[in-house]
Chains A and B, each alone.
Chain A
Amino acid sequence: MFKIVKRRDLNPTVTLMEIYAPLIAKKAKAGQFIILRVDEDGERIPLTVAGTDKENGTVEIIFQVVGASTLLLNQKHEGDYIADFVGPLGEPSEVEGFKKVCVIGGGAGCAIALPVARALHANGAEVTSIVGFRSKDLVILEDEFKQVSDRYVLMSDDGSVGEKGLVTNALEKLLLAGETFDRVICIGPLIMMKFVCLLTKKYNVKTIVSMNPIMIDGTGMCGCCRLTVNGKVKFACVDGPDFDGHEVDFDECMNRNKMYRDWERKKYDDTCNLFKKEVK
C-alpha cells in the first residue's frame, strides 16, 4: 500500500498527488513513468512522474479525470492509500547537451512536459516553453513553468488567457521569425503531437514526443503499448515513451487508443452513477 502524502487540485479536473515511494523517488528521472492501481480490484494505469522529493521519499503525479480509474483516484484524500505504485518505468528523456530547446505542452500533458523542461533548464539549456489549454480555468503549473523557462508562451483555444490559438501557431510564429532550436520536445494529446511534428518536419527541427498508448504491465511483457516507429514495432513502455516524432505512426496509435473507448465510456458513467447514488 502506498500513502498519499499530499494532494492539491490544480484545476477542476486536474489533481496533483505526492505518493510516499522512497525507492522510486531515489531513482526516477524526467520522462519516466509509474503504473498504479487505485485499489485491490483496480486496473493498472500509467502516469508520468511529475517530480520527486528524494529527502521526503515522495513521487509527484498529476492526473486528469478522464475515466473510471482516474475518477476513483480523485476520490482519495491526503492520508489515504492506493494499492500499487510501481516504477520508475521507461527510458528517461534525453536532457543533456542542448543549447536551445523548445518544450511544448498541451493540456494535462503539461504535467509531463514540466519535469523535462526543469531537467533541461538545470542542465543549462535555454528553454522556450509553449503551453496550450482550451481555456483560462484549465491552465495548470504556470508558475512552475515560468521558473524553468527563459521564454514562456501561453496559448488558449478560446483566447480567454494568453494568446488565442494553438501551440502550433505559436511555434510557427517563432520559426518564421528565424528562431532556431536544437530540438523540440512535445508532450500532449496525440493529435497535437502529430501536428507539431508535421510543422517541425517542414522546418527540419528534430522533435521528440512522449507517446501515451494503452498499457497493462509497463515492463515489456505484453506488447499492448506497441507502436510503429520508422517502420519497426516498438514497445513504448520499454523502448520509450520518448520517440523521434518524425518517425512515429500517429494515426495508428490514435486508432489503437480508441480500442476500448465504448467500454471506458460506459465504465465511467457507471462509476459516476455509483457516486451519485452514494450522495443521495
Chain B
Amino acid sequence: MPAKFNMRPTKNEMPSQDPKVRAHNFKEVALGYSEELALDEANRCLHCPNHPCISGCPVNINIPDFIAKIKEKDYEGAYQIISKSSSLPAVCGRVCPQESQCESKCVRGLRANMEPVGIGRLERFVADWHMENNKEKPAKPQPNGHKVAIVGAGPAGLTTAGDLAKMGYEVSVFEALHKAGGVLVYGIPEFRLPKTIVQKEVESLIDLGVKVYTDTVIGRTITIDELFEDGFEAIFVGSGAGLPKFMGIPGENLNGVYSANEFLTRTNLMKAYLDNSETPIEHAKKVAVVGGGNVAMDAARCALRLGADEVHVVYRRDIAEMPARKEEVHHAMEEGIIFDTLRNPVEILGDENGRVKGIKVVKMELGEPDASGRRRPIVVENSEYVMDVDCVIMSLGTSPNPLIKKTTEGLDTNPHGCIIANPETGATSRVGVYAGGDAVTGAATVILAMGAGKTAAKAIDEFIKNKK
C-alpha cells in the first residue's frame, strides 16, 4: 500500500443534523462519516512506531492496525481487529470521551492548533459498516464446558459476557429490566445512541452463544448463592450505580419533580416521547435540570425535544468545572439550552395543586479548592431569587443499588455502597464473585465499565482454569 499521508491539522468534521431541526426530534444528532470522509481521515494516521493511542484506550484496541485496514478499504478486516478487543464498537465509537482517552495520546494532536486523528469517528464508521454490510453470523466458539453467570446487562456485563463467550464459556446474563443494555437503553438517549444499535450489539453476543435472561432481579428472583448452587462456577456483578440522589430540599416531592433516572427511563426505555406510548411523561414548558454531568445534558436535551420552550441547566460551579463532555455541552448550547451556572437550588415551590411552579435558587461564588481539587462553591449572601419553571429534573449523580449487597453474605462494600474489588482482577471478598463497572466505582463512563469487564473476564478464566 503506498503511504499516502494527509497532513491536514484538523479532523474531518462529522456531518450532523442542523441544531434547529434536531432540537425537535429524537433522531441521531451525529450522522457518521461517509466512506470518503473515513478514508481521508484514516490517512491522517502516521502509524507511529510506539502508537501511544493504544495505551489511552481502556480496552487497548489495536488502533493503528484497524486504521491501516480502513486505508486498504478492508472495512470488515478493520472490524475484526476492533472486535478482538471490544464487544461494543458501535456504542463506544459514539459515547466514549475520546478527548480524554485514545485521542488525547495521538501524536497528531500534540501541538497547539493540531487535532488528533478522529479515532472514535473511525471506529464508529467501521462498526456501522459491519452492521450494514456483513449479515454473516460469527462462528460459535468451541464450548469448554464451564458456566459463568453475569449480573446486569450493561456495558460491563456485556463486555465480560462477550469475552468469556469467545473463550468458550457458557455465559448467562441476568438483567432486571425487560431490555438488555443497562444505561445504553434507559439512560443515553436515542439521539446520541440509537437503540437499534444497542439491540444489534446484544444480538451479536447472542449469536456467540450468550444467553440473556431479562426480567430477572438478582437478589430477589434468584440470589448469588443460588446461582452457585445452579452450577455457575464464577459470577460477575455488573449491576451498575442506579440509585438516584436527591438534594433533600423542601418541595422535592411536588408533582413535576423527577430524578434524571426516572425522566430518562420514561423517555428512552419506555419511549414516552412517541405519541402512541403507553407510558406518560410531562411535556413541560419551562424546565430546570439540576446538575452538570452528561446525564444532566441528556435530560436537558430530552426535555427540549419533548417540547419545552426553555430548558435551564442549573449548576453550582462554573461551566469550565462541569463534569459533562465538552462535546455534549457544546451540542446542548447549539440547541438552545440555557446554562445558569454558579446557582444552587434551595427550595422548589408548588402551586395549590401540588405542582411545581418555581425553583428558589441562590447565587454561588468559587472559593478555595476542596478535597477534590475543585474550587468550592460558596453561597453569595442575599442573592436568592425565584426561577419560574414547571418541571425540575434532579441530576445529582447515583450510587449502587444495595440489593445485591443486602442479599449476598460476605460481599464487602465501601461506605458509599460500592462493591470492593481488586482493580487488577475484579475479585471481590467472595471467592468466585467478580465485580466491575459502576457497581465498583460509582457512576463513571461506559468505556471504563467495559475495561473492568475485560479485566474480570481474564481473571475469571484464570480462576476457573486454576480450580482443577
Contact = CB atoms under 8 A, between A and B. Distances in A.
Q: Do these two chains interact?
A: yes
Interface of A: 23-24, 27, 37, 41-44, 68-69, 83-89, 216-217, 219-224, 226-228, 233, 238, 252, 255-256, 258-260, 263-264, 267
B255 A219 contact: no
B465 interface: no
Task: Choose among B216, B243, B248 the residue with the greatest number of A CB atoms under 10 Å from its CB.
Answer: B243
Given A43-B278, A222-B244, A224-B258, 4 more contacts: A84-B178, A221-B265, A223-B246, A223-B259
A221 B243 contact: yes
B242 interface: yes
Contacts of A219: 176-177, 217, 242, 401, 403
Contacts of A267: 278, 280
Contact of B178 (A24, A86, A238): A86
Contact of A222 (B214, B252, B256, B262): B262
A69 B280 CA distance: 12
B253 A226 contact: yes
Contacts of B253: 226-228, 233, 252, 256
B281 to A, nearest CB: 9
17 contacts: A43-B270, A69-B278, A84-B214, A88-B220, A89-B217, A219-B217, A221-B243, A221-B244, A222-B265, A223-B244, A224-B259, A233-B246, A233-B252, A233-B253, A238-B403, A255-B354, A258-B354
B255 A85 contact: no
Interface of B: 176-178, 214-217, 220-222, 242-244, 246, 248, 252-253, 255-256, 258-259, 261-262, 265-266, 270-271, 276-280, 282, 353-354, 398, 401-403
Nearest to A219: B176
Do most interface residues of chain B lie in helix, strand or loop, or is the interface mixed? loop
Contacts of B353: 255
Nearest to A41: B278
B242 A221 contact: yes
A37 B262 contact: no
Contact of A256 (B255, B280, B398): B255
B178 A43 contact: no
A258 B255 contact: yes
A238 B262 CA distance: 15
Nearest to A34: B215
B235 to A, nearest CB: 17
B276 A41 contact: yes
A69 B256 CA distance: 23
Nearest to B252: A233
A129 B214 CA distance: 38
A219 B282 CA distance: 22
Given A86-B176, A217-B265, A219-B176, A68 B217 contact: no
A83 B216 CA distance: 13
B262 A224 contact: yes
What are the nearest 5 A-B pairs in CB distance? A221-B242, A222-B262, A255-B354, A86-B215, A43-B278
B224 to A, nearest CB: 14
Nearest to A254: B354
A259 B217 contact: no
Task: Choose among B178, B246, B265, B271 the residue with the greatest number of A CB atoms under 10 Å from its CB.
Answer: B178
A11 B263 CA distance: 36
Given A216-B265, A233-B253, A86 B217 contact: yes
A219 B175 CA distance: 12
Contacts of B265: 216-217, 221-222
A166 to B, nearest CB: 26
B214 to A, nearest CB: 7
Given A220-B242, A222-B261, A23 B221 contact: yes
A223 B264 CA distance: 12
B130 to A, nearest CB: 27
B401 A220 contact: yes
Contacts of A89: 217, 220
B220 A27 contact: yes
Contacts of B279: 43-44, 216
B266 to A, nearest CB: 7
A264 B178 contact: no
B278 A221 contact: no
B96 to A, nearest CB: 24
B345 to A, nearest CB: 16
A68 B243 contact: no
Contacts of A217: 176-177, 265
A83 B177 CA distance: 12
Given A43-B270, A222-B244, A255-B255, A84 B280 contact: no
A216 B280 contact: no
Nearest to A68: B278
A259 B258 CA distance: 12
Contacts of B217: 86-87, 89, 219
B190 to A, nearest CB: 15
A166 B215 CA distance: 39
A221 B261 contact: yes
A216 B278 CA distance: 12
A221 B242 CA distance: 5
Contact of B215 (A85, A224, A226, A259): A85
A216 B354 CA distance: 21
A223 B261 contact: yes
Contacts of B259: 222-224
Nearest to B398: A221
A216 B262 contact: yes
B270 A44 contact: yes
A190 to B, nearest CB: 14
A252 B354 CA distance: 8
Contacts of B221: 23-24, 27, 86-88
Nearest to A264: B280
A233 B243 CA distance: 13
Contacts of A216: 262, 265-266, 270, 279
A220 B278 contact: no
